[in-house]
Amino acid sequence: MKICYVVPAIVNKAPILVVLQLCEQMLLKGHDVTVLYFDERVEIELLAGVSFERVGFYRTFDFSIYDVVHSHLLRADAFVFRNKSLFGKVRYVSTLHNYVERELYFHYNKFVSFVFSFIWNVCWLRHNRLVVLSEDAVKYYSRFSYNKKITRVYNGRDVVINYGLIEDWCATEISALKACVDVLLGTYCVLTATKGVDQLIRLLSENARVGLVVIGDGPAKKSLQELSVTLGVDNRCVFIPSVPYAHQCNIFFDVFAMPSRAEGFGLALIEAALHSKKIVCSDIPIFRELFTEEAVCFFKVDDVPSLNAAVMKCVADESKAAAVLKVARERYSSSAMASSYLMVYEGLQRD
């Protein structure tokens, strides 16, 4: 099978990491794989055996040589919308990595959310199948999407554990904080209001035993740094810029925290699980679907006492790390994800 993946850029963000894992697995299964991307910036090493081609977003492109074209994120979906032939045997798939209206609202504002949710929705009309990441997302998009051809495939992730990749300056900063606190929380993400990192900073003002490492950049970073100063906890809160080895830093954390107010899937959660970390996460539908209370500790969103109780419970429970690792390996591997996508691709070719 000739498969073409379309992405905006080759950057160190969860949707792109998922695509690269898919590429790797499809190669292993004997398929011919191409990745089209628009932006010049490349942050991740390109996979051997995969054909990477940079194309202009506004150019015309002929997809007819492929069996399946699989796009990810708005610009890629729009590119497919403009270039899809009305005839031919090519099948088009899009993966919806978030809850569009909610994500755009938190990241920008209500007006942007309304306009671009509509545009994105129209783009999906030309796809043969939409893939979402959870049963909760199936329910959401069954109401929201104009295209009702929706299937669920869980994301998959494999990690190569190599703590030697962590640069000295980063290890030094985190280690210095770890030596000063009883419990070190860690998180990494694109810093937006949706990610809920402010809750972790507020926790520091309630529990003097806890320190926090925040890895990442984004529009909320400055306000989060200012909040730590305002609350007088900046001496127990270290901000590290986005680094390609962020998941390796789990080695330092006593507990990995995922305090999202909304989330499409939460790939960092799977990465932390594969590092056998104790995990605290917000009590939202996607996380409840992925893990049970036997594996992780949940807390109520925007409820600092609940968060504090979850952290302390997690620290005390030595069974959590092994339990979450077992679930991640069994349910959320890249091989399992690729097998599910192959079923989608093959089903479309039979239609």
pLDDT digits (tens, 9 = 90+) for 242-273: 999 999 999 999 999 999 998 989 999 999 99
CB 150 within 8 A of CB 138: yes
Q: Is the dihedral of CA 71, 191, 202, 179 positive or negative?
A: positive
d(CA 273, CA 159): 10
Q: Which pLDDT value is given to residue 108?
A: 82
Q: Which pLDDT value is given to residue 176?
A: 98
Q: Mind listing the pLDDT tens digit for each residue in 283-305?
A: 999 999 999 999 999 999 999 99
For the chain, list the domains and their CATH numbers. Answer: 2-157+333-347 (3.40.50.2000), 163-331 (3.40.50.2000)
d(CA 164, CA 147): 46
Q: Mind listing the pLDDT tens digit for each residue in 106-116?
A: 778 889 889 99
Q: Say which amino acid occupies 143.
A: R
Bridge partner list, 325 = none
Q: Which pLDDT value is given to residue 85?
A: 87
Low-confidence ranges of the chain (pLDDT < 50): none
